[in-house]
Amino acid sequence: MTSTLPLRAEVDVLVVGGGPAGIGAALAAARAGASVLIIEQFNCLGGVAGAGGHGHISTYCAAGDRLRVVGGVIYEVARRLVEEHAGWMNHHGVWFEVEKLKFLLDRMMREAGVGILYYTFFCAAVVEDGAVVGAIIQNKDGRGVIRARRVIDGTGDGDVAASAGAPFEQGRPRDGKCQPMTLMFTIGGVDWPRVEAWRKDYHMREVWERAQRNGDMEPFQTTIMGFWWTPTRPDQVGINFTHITDVDGTRAADLTAATLEGRRQAFHAIDVFRQYVPGMEDCYLVSTPNTVGVRESRRIIGPVVLTEEDMKARRPWEDSIGYGAFLIDIHHIDGPGMDETVWYPEPGFRYQIPYRILLPQGVEQLLVAGRCVSVTHLALGSIRVMAQCALTGEAAGAAAARSLRENVTPRAVDVAALQAELRAHGGILTEDDVARVNAGRAWFFAA
Ligand SMILES: Cc1cc2nc3c(=O)[nH]c(=O)nc-3n(C[C@H](O)[C@H](O)[C@H](O)COP(=O)(O)OP(=O)(O)OC[C@H]3O[C@@H](n4cnc5c(N)ncnc54)[C@H](O)[C@@H]3O)c2cc1C
């Protein structure tokens, strides 16, 4: 079938999906000397932070601490956002203008020599003799093939891995249901200092519950997941509040239904904000983003499946590629608010992430990064944040390029050499690295 399709490109490394994972992968592979093409269905990079309209990246530091545990590409992104006055940062993460992130990522790809093809949808993996050798894509030019010596799945949903026949799981073990989706929205006309003061005085859950008791609000939400604000857009706030349950991110009909419901909830929420939040009396909708935000879908099954027990026990891994540190953040799967399975770590918490969670079973020359790596449903609640998705991408990109140089499959790369390479680019992989990077606190806080 593929032989009848036109060949559109031939590269060393094809990165499918331009979210945090894809960004890390593309930059690392290109900086290691590979020819790289990144394809993306929308018109920007950033994934949830770009087309998803979500102006906040975490997690760079150990839980509740200023100890930095993440470096590499995604730290570079944060630093440049702050240096370009497009955002601000503290130990919880970086807050930024979404449009400026898109612009920065376009430039970073150009600087690294990464080719970008927007408006291009991945349709199917091209598999020969058990190895992924390219992708069938669809765009305005029609259907075609991109051939690649290595492919990195950065789709968040494991589209490439699933298409190639790699085994995967989805959702919570008892019924396969996934975390709710959220359509972000941005409001304008906000008096932010008054909102800030109100936030300090009120427990927001009580406010939404009061609105619901008064008959002014449908009970779709009981908490604010995020008010994302940057000083360069002082009267605008990105709102993480809509909450859509019983939807599957691998089904177009569900993505559509979630978007329709999210937009409806956004307008309804604005009515409630105007009535109940001091400083939002005159707020209005500026925009909803290009895509609804998906928190959970497929997870591949690799030679190692990282579990919540591994995380909580801070299990050491010889093939560590970096650290995670976020809480096990599960939004309520069956109703509003947070799930009972949420787990809040102690201060200083951090855990190592092994390279082997990027390797799908039964398929060669394919690496998987980001939200669809080999972890359990609960472990995904922590590792799914963007800095960790980006660092798995960065390791995948470096490993793809290295595997080409070593002429081996990614499964067989020299892991010690890969780790040295990641470290040379700022990666923090071990406790020695944590101690070295944090000696003298050689990083900034622009808050
Ligand atoms: C509402 C919401 C709030 C969140 N809040 C935070 C937060 O505060 N801090 C934080 O750090 N993280 C947060 N997260 C988690 C984080 O944003 C995601 O888990 C992370 O972005 C996943 O990165 P990724 O690169 O794996 O996938 P994504 O960010 O989903 O990127 C995948 C990319 O691949 C593209 N793609 C997918 N399929 C195809 C295809 N078939 N063909 C072509 N392109 C395709 C998509 O368009 C997208 O650009 C939040 C997530 C959501 C949904």
pLDDT value at residue 447: 38
Q: How many Cβ atoms are within 10 Å of 349's Cβ, its own excluded?
A: 21
Residue numbers of the chain with a pLDDT score lower than 70: 1-3, 441-447
Distance 48 CA to ligand 1 centre (A): 4
Q: Which pair of structure tokens corresponds to residue 286?
A: 């500026």
The CA 432 to ligand 1 mean position distance, Å, reads 31
State if residue 95 touches ligand 1 by the CB under 6 angstroms criterion: no
What is the reported pLDDT for 2?
Answer: 61
Q: Which of 122, 140, 155 to mutate to test the pocket of ligand 1 (most atoms within 8 A of CB)?
A: 155
Q: Per residue, what are the HEC states of 334-360?
A: CCCCECCCCECCCCCCCEEEEHHHHCC
pLDDT, position 201: 76
Residue 446 confidence (pLDDT):
44
Q: Give dist(CA 376, CA 384) in Å, integer.
A: 11
Report pLDDT for 64: 92
CA of 52 to the centre of ligand 1 (A): 7
The confidence score (pLDDT) of residue 366 equals 98
pLDDT confidence of residue 9: 98
- Cis amide prior to 59 (ω within 30 degrees): yes
Superfamily of domain 2-172+297-438: FAD/NAD(P)-binding domain (3.50.50.60)
Sign of the dihedral defined by the CA atoms of residues 296, 301, 302, 306, in that order: positive
For residue 406, give Cα distances in angstroms to 327, 400, 409, 437. 37, 10, 9, 30
42 lines ligand 1 (CB under 6 A): yes
Residue from 14, 385, 388, 391 to probe ligand 1 pocket by mutation (most atoms less than 8 Å from CB): 385
- Alpha carbon 197 to its chain's center: 30
C-beta 156 within 6 A of ligand 1? yes
In angstroms, rounded to a whole number, what is the distance separating the alpha carbons of residues 357 and 306?
7
Domain boundaries, the chain: 2-172+297-438, 185-287
Q: What is the pTM of this model?
A: 0.97
